[in-house]
Chains A and B, each alone.
Chain A
Amino acid sequence: MSEAAEKKTLIEAVNLALDHAMEEDRDVVVLGEDVGTNGGVFRATQGLKDKYGLRRVMDTPLAETLIAGMTVGMSTQGMKPVAEIQFMGFIFACMEQLIGHAARMRNRTRGRLTCPMVVRAPFGGGIHAPEHHSESTEALFAHIPGLRVVIPSSPVRAYGLLRSAIENPDPVIFLEPKRIYRVQKQVLPDSDFRLPLDTCFTLREGSDLTLVTWGACVRECQEVVRQLAEEGISVELIDVATIKPLDMDTILASVRKTGRCVIVHEAARSFGVGAEIAARVSTDLFHELHAPVERVAGYDITMPYYRMEKHYLPDENRIRQACLQAFGN
């Protein structure tokens, strides 16, 4: 049985995608804190240092601003660095580099220099992690012109999207929902498998309501879709996956069909990606909607420490209630 034919978890899929990308392209390098000998705190880079050496699998000093800055610099030389930020809560030191440089390099040099780089970070709550380890701030990146934002929700999509992200000529923020790093195993396709970075995935077709989500919330949504199906409600489930650029065509086509839209995300509700989707659905499909677009999201509060985090995270009950409300129940 080949390596790729074994069932893999999401984190193992990330590891395999990095491995294959490094094997195929010498310009792909990995850097970050503890990514070398330790293989990353979640083991995303396990085995890579032994296989590709210290020069291509770089344990950096403990300095996130530096990691982002050097990733920008390396990528202007045509390398394809994949930087790991250990937790999304530590990515804020990178923001000046990501917003002020990575996102702008192509534009400010009119294509003379580019940043074909990936910044990976585990994100989201639900694993009882310490403070600063559980936030979901994808909207901060999605708001910035020039950045791509990608969030996989299954091992297969993690592999296909990460391979595409590494090959993409622009900076990609690749956010990994750590709550589902190890909950599902899938057989991965061949190493030439890629997924588009500008297309939503319709995970299940339905006719009565469109449920739009991404990341770890896909799992709760799948369960709600199953429950509602038993009750005779046919739900179309969309995993946005590529937050930016946002594939509105798929979402609009679905809502045009169902007339109802519920958006689910873990990030705080206000000013988020859900708000953007809701605005566009409302603008384009105002007369075709049977109910207002509803959001189920984290609250506009600081991410609670883990004893209370379950009150923050969207759960099946909240998602189900929002769906039923769209039918006037």
Chain B
Amino acid sequence: MSTSLDGGDLFRVHRDDIPYVRFLGADGQPTQPLPEWVNDERTMVGYYKAMVKAREADRKAIAMQRTGQMGTYPSGLGQEAPGVVYGSLMNKDDVLVPYYRDLSGQLLRGVELSDIYLYWGGDERGSAGEGYGQDLPNCVPIATQAGHAVGIASAFRIRGEQRVAVTTCGDGATSKGDFLEALNLAGTWQLPVVFLVVNNQWAISVPRQIQCGAPTLAQKGAGAGVPCVQVDGNDVVALHEVIGSAIERARKGKGAMVIEAITYRLGDHTTADDATRYRPNDEVRKAWEEEPVKRLQTWLHQRGWWSPEQETALQEQVRSEVQKAVEKYLSTPLPETSDLFDYHFAETPIGLRQQHEEMQGGLSHE
């Protein structure tokens, strides 16, 4: 066997070695025999309902931004599936370490939609809600959350707790040292952490093929000794299988896993972005044929678990739930100005208290 470190060979080997998991094709038809748990109607219908709600919540967020009721917002349109799956499979006392396009997952973790709106509406209290439990807030600086996830997983290991950290990131984040450094630690310490790379093909305007020369993003795990797998990120069955086994594996002390969920960002990067400047319309049209909601709906129909009447009722229900969250968000009073000062230290230093008085129009110097 050659010991040459020829890059092409290495990549080819890795590509062949990395499994790609898919159960439901783009047309909603099984591509292979489905696992037993799929016979649980509640789980499958639950995934569908959760995705529909996330999509409506997302639509509403964009609408609010367009009408001046919310700040810049990053749409998760088209990538609802990974979130509803990890959100369902994690235990409540596991910890989610998200990036910033995780609305569908955060809702299932128990975060109030009105809190998510509050966060994107420019209010720190949106990350303070009880629904978060110990989950970390959205992480805006790319890939920095990967370090937090392995730190949290280290804490679980030190304390001997059977808990798991799940961290998400986009395709662009895998180019950052933070991601690779965290992965490296997870491999060498066998940490209970799942790295879920939501590859939506675009890092703002930079497409996947010029983000990284490796055939897969999953294979970055190989360099760290972490098992890695690709999965159809629009297929809840495949996601359930892969994420479920990764979480279970981590919980049993068998270490980390990298999952590359291949999906597509159907919307703009954020409401401040215009993807038509850099993205071919043909590609987006094709991506719509792969999207996760319609795919699962088709399958549920065929299974006899979903009807047009149920669809109408669900649409009505999610619109009403989302509207309630909108009203709660919009009616949230502004915080006191003291809120801006009081959370920098457990005990606010005198100098900061004086600056607050200054803000209130008191003494102008300390």
Contact = CB atoms under 8 A, between A and B. Distances in A.
Contacts of A76: 134, 136, 148, 151-152
Interface string A260-287: 0000000000000000000010011000
Interface in A53-99: 55-56, 58, 60-61, 63, 65-66, 68-77, 79, 81, 96-97
Interface string B109-144: 000000000000000110111001010110001001
Given A169-B346, A198-B349, A61 B184 contact: yes
Given A96-B141, A245-B351, A73 B152 contact: yes
Interface residues of B, number: 45
Contact of B128 (A81, A109, A246, A283): A109
A73 B339 contact: no
Nearest to A93: B177
A189 to B, nearest CB: 24
A280 B366 contact: yes
Interface stretch (B73-81, B154-162, B253-261, B307-315): B154-162
A148 interface: yes
A110 interface: yes
A239 B165 CA distance: 43
B181 interface: yes
B158 A107 contact: no
A228 interface: no
Contact of B141 (A29, A55, A100): A100
B125 A110 contact: yes
B15 to A, nearest CB: 26
A111 B128 contact: yes
Contact of B150 (A56, A70, A96, A113): A70
Contact of B155 (A63, A79, A100, A145): A79
B295 to A, nearest CB: 35
A177 interface: no
Interface in B312-358: 339, 343-346, 349-352
A307 interface: no
B286 to A, nearest CB: 37
Contacts of A198: 349
Interface residues of A, number: 48
Contacts of B132: 109, 112
B178 interface: yes
B124 to A, nearest CB: 5
11 contacts: A73-B165, A96-B141, A96-B144, A100-B141, A107-B343, A107-B344, A146-B344, A168-B346, A198-B349, A245-B349, A280-B366
Given A69-B146, A146-B344, A245-B350, 7 more contacts: A55-B157, A56-B158, A73-B152, A73-B153, A77-B152, A81-B151, A245-B351
Interface of B: 95, 97, 124-125, 127-129, 132, 134, 136-137, 141, 144, 146-158, 165, 177-178, 181-182, 184-185, 188, 339, 343-346, 349-352, 365-366
